[in-house]
Structure 1
Amino acid sequence: MKVVYMGTPDFAVGPLKSIIESGHEVKLVVSQPDKKNSRRGNKIVYSPVKQCALDNEIEVFQPNRVSDDESYEYIKSLKPDVIVVCAYGQIVKSNILNLVKFGCINIHASLLPHLRGAAPIHRSIINGDKVTGVTTMQMNEGLDTGDMLLKEEIEIGDDMTVGELHDKMEIIGSKLIVETLNKLEKGEINPKKQDDNLSTYANKITKEDCHIDFSENVKDIYNKIRGLNPFPLSYVNLDEKNIKIYESIIKNELSNEKCGTILSYNKKDKALLVAAKDGIIGIKELKMQGKKKMDAASFYNGNRDIIGKVFN
């Protein structure tokens, strides 16, 4: 099939590569406009998907609004059979959704209708889910409400981070989109409507979401820490400084101290022990504002006076 591919971040690179390698013809890659990176002297930085397209000598199109008349006419002129959308970053309106024979197919990082929305990978771990997956979906104008095409499940390990789950999902999404395109072309897929009564939502991660509140249950704190590692990372405040947390463990112990109190450094677990609502969290890896990431031992050795202080 002739494919127009819409995507922007790392997660969308694997599926694009798989479509290219599958023999389907990628006529055009649509990605978000280039941005300047202030950390690199305001140099223009290409999106991962754009770079992948250029590496494979595929034309790249970067409209400010993909659904405006000019963009619509250009995509139409290429006469694609299908449009594949994966973490593109713009709302795709009805003119584009209804433009081609097989419509717009989205690769969504959850088992729909569970976790519709912007951050399904993060939310699945933060919520403590044991299973998630990838769904290919026929897009409509709703928020991830279109008919489901194919699904594949992924087990979420008890210590899996969002980075690890992201990488697994990219591999499965890459395989699933090619299978979807092949079966669509042969007429071997029966789209299935979603049950809106079973839907849940994965709202965008905010700065407030990343703050650790030690008055919560230890399991919820643990899930939040791994569900935000390696990006955007959970954090606490201490002595008016921001401390980002990468890794933690749950200690099956209780404390009578105020939630957030730094109790001790545990040499056996190599962790700073912190009081929480119903137990103790051990922080194993962290980064203080203005410093490099370090293990808890290194942090403690340089900050011996923290015992008894309270994270807020």
Structure 2
Amino acid sequence: MNIVFMGTPEFAVPSFEAIVKEFGVKAVLTQPDRPKGRGKALAMSSVKEAALKYDIPVYQPEKLKKDKELIDKLKAMELDFIIVVAFGQILSKEVLDIPKYGCINLHASLLPKYRGAAPINFAVMEGEKTSGNTTMLMDVGLDTGDMLLKSEFDITESMTAGELHDLLMEDGAKLLIDTINGVYNNEIVPIKQGDTITSYASMLNKEMANINWQRSAEEIHNFVRGLNPFPMAYTFYKDKSMKLISTKVLHEESKELPGTILKVNGEGIRVSTKDKVLLITEVQFPNKKPLKVSEYIKGNSIEEKEVLHK
């Protein structure tokens, strides 16, 4: 098969490597190298790193839909498929029409729920009990194409977005192989998403990660899990930013103002919310490494009756 792979982050790498081994890949499209880290040195994407190991040609268009030369190259390849996994650019109809069997996208949610950039995080933040991957035939909309195959996984009460990410990342590779074979052999009947009311998973940013203590303990717990490992939920203790790494909902209630620190001990920090008590078990302060509360309080104090705030 003649396949071009489009993808950028670590999430796309297992899918790319599985397709290389199963079918071969003629070329890779990924985002341009970007400044990264404190030194702001240019860094290549995870998919570019993987592609170079296999000596596969890599193209990095700033905007593919405006890159006529690259589009003409794709047309000349006589492609069977374009496979897209977290590429980071919307494809024009001109590009979608190039491959014989279509453009297939792997999306990390059970569509039509959680279209958009951060479906894994939002599934956890919203307290979903299940999530999964969906493969679809791409159209000009944002994650609106006809669905092909799905896989489903349980989300446990303690699972973070990072843990779900890793689970779906590995599963997505197998689902894509099954999808490519199924479409090629005409064994899959595409299912329209229709006009079902859907949630949109917008791009994450650090501003949205500030905890609102007026919410329920469960909502805050899900919020913390859903923003781990990025951008990490945070609050302010005595005007100092405090990231919450892990939490637990307790079957205890408090009439104190939401955000009030009720008790601090080796178990963690008990904090009042709109309803139950939230136990913070791991924290991170600026320029420090994450620590279990039991370790942190050995050399630092966290005062009871202080109120955590936005």
> TM range, normalised to the smaller chain?
over 0.9
Following the alignment from structure 2 to structure 1, what is the Cα–Cα distance between the partners of residues 301 and 29? Answer: 53
Q: Is it true that 1:45 corresponds to 2:33 in the alignment?
A: no
What does residue 62 of structure 2 align with?
64
Is the Cα–Cα contact under 8 Å of residues 65 and 71 in structure 1 kept in the other structure?
no
SS at match of 2:121: helix
Q: For each residue in 1:266-304, what CA deviation from the matched residue of structure 2 results, as whole angstroms up to 9, or x when unmatched?
A: 33xx21111111011111111111222111023223332
Is the Cα–Cα contact under 8 Å of residues 205 and 231 in structure 2 kept in the other structure?
no
Is the Cα–Cα contact under 8 Å of residues 264 and 302 in structure 2 kept in the other structure?
no
One-letter amino acid of the structure 1 residue matched with residue 11 of structure 2: F
Following the alignment from structure 1 to structure 2, what is the Cα–Cα distance between the partners of residues 266 and 306? Answer: 11
Following the alignment from structure 1 to structure 2, what is the Cα–Cα distance between the partners of residues 304 and 153? Answer: 44
Q: TM-score scaled to structure 2, two decimals? A: 0.96
Q: Is it true that 1:284 corresponds to 2:290 in the alignment?
A: no
Following the alignment from structure 1 to structure 2, what is the Cα–Cα distance between the partners of residues 119 and 30? Answer: 21
What does residue 212 of structure 2 align with?
213
Shift of 1:38: 4.3
Following the alignment from structure 1 to structure 2, what is the Cα–Cα distance between the partners of residues 45 and 310? Answer: 41
One-letter amino acid of the structure 2 residue matched with residue 207 of structure 1: K
What does residue 7 of structure 1 align with?
7
Is the Cα–Cα contact under 8 Å of residues 90 and 142 in structure 2 kept in the other structure?
no
One-letter amino acid of the structure 2 residue matched with residue 58 of structure 1: I
Q: For each residue in 1:186-215, what CA deviation from the matched residue of structure 2 results, as whole angstroms up to 9, or x when unmatched?
A: 111111111222422212223343111111
| Correspondence 1:189-268 to 2 at 5 A | 189-267=188-266
Shift of 1:76: 1.5
What does residue 20 of structure 1 align with?
20
SS at match of 2:270: strand
What does residue 269 of structure 2 align with?
272
Task: Say which is worse superposed, 8-17 or 205-214, in terms of deviation.
Answer: 205-214
Following the alignment from structure 2 to structure 1, what is the Cα–Cα distance between the partners of residues 157 and 190? Answer: 33
Task: Say which is worse superposed, 65-74 or 2-11, in terms of deviation.
Answer: 65-74
Q: Is it true that 1:294 corresponds to 2:294 in the alignment?
A: no
| Correspondence 1:157-172 to 2 at 5 A | 157-172=156-171
What does residue 55 of structure 1 align with?
53
One-letter amino acid of the structure 2 residue matched with residue 34 of structure 1: D
Shift of 1:131: 0.9
One-letter amino acid of the structure 1 residue matched with residue 244 of structure 2: I
Q: For each residue in 1:112-147, what CA deviation from the matched residue of structure 2 results, as whole angstroms up to 9, or x when unmatched?
A: 111111111000010010111111000001111100
SS at match of 1:199: coil
Q: Which runs of 5+ in 1 are unaligned?
A: none
Q: Which runs of 5+ in 2 are unaligned?
A: none
Shift of 1:305: 4.9
One-letter amino acid of the structure 1 residue matched with residue 47 of structure 2: V
